[in-house]
Structure 1
């Protein structure tokens, strides 16, 4: 059975950076850079028209900013996976992007050697977030010390706390499943269940709460 060729749309308004990223696609097997735009509004139109498998979206594009463009694409074409691509890893923007529907948040400096693998993982539904090296100095969103969410996390079974700890370390569902000797489907279902209990939208918010509750460290 022939392997599916993944179609990618790139959005970046810096010509030299865009040219460098385009060259990374040369030689990638079963991954095609189908189209390129340089502004947020053009990216939205292109994504809705072509329905690519993955969109790589710079955070600071013109006309419509990257986060708003992600929100528009995610709402109108939910089958399209959108990954933010940034030269400056900012925890606040990362959280905003995830809430807007971004599947991942990639640093331009970390994709040069593994862009193909990252795109395949994102298409499979994995979440990849390039965390700032000095994240401990970033102001994490304030959470009341005795909030019901924190109390609930502290009362989770040991296996669920282990999943949260591994998730906060940036491990994929597959890696967590291997460490806990369970199926990847089990890990995915359990993370979804925990998110529903805590009423959070994604892995970044879940990781923040886990750190606040003291069951995980960054």
Structure 2
């Protein structure tokens, strides 16, 4: 099955580069490109791509607002969004995560990581640049107190959560903890329910705010 992607960036050279990289990957096809956030939202609603890859700083409607319209809490049929940015400690990145983005990458992440992020988002997973995740979320979590979970996390749930916060995929967590993929998904689902978070990005932020990160 081909993963259909929308790419949005206000710089033509970046749009062209992202499209070229993604179209060269097996099973990935760019079906639409946009030069601003408003056009991205319109094209996403028209084409219903499997994943939207959005720059954060765009004219007319920025990436944060576009993410909120496509994947925010009030959206009935959200489209998976991965945000890309040049800045790894930018308050706009943090805002995009809160707006519903499943993950983010730096623009110098490279073709392999870019393709992995798209595939992860399409499958309901997420890939957050592991070198950025802890720094970024910790920066904004310094003065925050996370909500108390509705029930205590088990030791295994805490282990899974810590690896999610470190940017691991479900498959990587399964290998590291010697669990089946379905068991990892079950633990993660339980963690999401207990912490009141909606996705991997939110639960990673919750983990870092709580001090539950992989050693």
- The alignment's TM-score, normalised by the length of structure 1, stands at 0.82
The alignment status of 1:51 with 2:48, answered yes or no, reads: yes
Mapping of 1:68-147 within 5 angstroms?
68-74=65-71, 75=75, 77-78=77-78, 80-90=79-89, 92-130=91-129, 131-132=131-132, 135=135, 138-144=139-145
The alignment status of 1:38 with 2:35, answered yes or no, reads: yes
Structure 1 partner of 2:182: 185
Distance in 1, matches of 2:186 and 2:143, equals 28
Question: Which runs of no fewer than 5 residues in structure 2 stay unpaired?
Answer: none
The alignment status of 1:29 with 2:30, answered yes or no, reads: no
- Aligned CA distance change for structure 1 residues 29 and 194 (closer, same or farther; 3 Å): closer
Counting matched residue pairs gives 210
> Shift of the alpha carbon at 1:6?
1.7
Question: Which runs of no fewer than 5 residues in structure 1 stay unpaired?
Answer: none
> Shift of the alpha carbon at 1:148?
5.9
- Aligned CA distance change for structure 1 residues 134 and 48 (closer, same or farther; 3 Å): closer
Contact 1:8 1:52 in 2 (8 A): yes
Larger CA deviation: 206-215 vs 63-72: 206-215
Structure 2 partner of 1:8: 5
> Shift of the alpha carbon at 1:138?
2.2
Contact 1:58 1:86 in 2 (8 A): yes
> Shift of the alpha carbon at 1:42?
0.7
> Shift of the alpha carbon at 1:87?
1.6
Distance in 2, matches of 1:133 and 1:196, equals 22
> Shift of the alpha carbon at 1:116?
2.8
Structure 1 partner of 2:166: 169
Please say which structure displays the higher CA radius of gyration.
1
- Aligned CA distance change for structure 1 residues 96 and 133 (closer, same or farther; 3 Å): closer
Contact 2:84 2:106 in 1 (8 A): yes
Q: Compute the RMSD of aligned alpha carbons.
A: 2.6
Distance in 1, matches of 2:164 and 2:31, equals 32
Larger CA deviation: 170-179 vs 25-34: 25-34
Larger CA deviation: 178-187 vs 87-96: 87-96
